[in-house]
Amino acid sequence: MFFADPVAAFTHLRSALRPGGRLAFVCWQSRDDNEWTTVPRRAIDEVLSLTPPPPPDTPGGFAFGDPDRVRSVLEGAGWTGVELTDIERTVHLGTSIDEAVAFVRQMDYAKAVLDPA
């Protein structure tokens, strides 16, 4: 998700595998499909102006949120038999409100407006 050139990165990973080797990984779905980041962002944005989030294919946590892009990257890197499985889980930001607030405060968009350098 964080590669500047994901096709090159996955090509390199493929070259490191023995014949018949497999790749498995987990990535976030789209930013909009992740309430753990969108809900706090909307709440902060109602009070303080946040910069818009980067485009969805920008290297970062949500760069592989589009299954068609993931398939294109992997196939472009020479992977075959690509299978994508949609898995949804609830993400808890801690076991208390204090832990949840601490988690949100460390997110880039929150730090930029809540703890400016």
pLDDT tens profile 34-44: 888 888 888 88
Whole-angstrom distance, CA of residue 73 vs CA of residue 38: 26
What pTM did the predictor assign?
Answer: 0.80
Of 101, 112, 114, whose CA–CA distance to 39 is shortest? 101
Q: Amino acid identity, residue 80?
A: T
- Give pLDDT, residue 55: 86
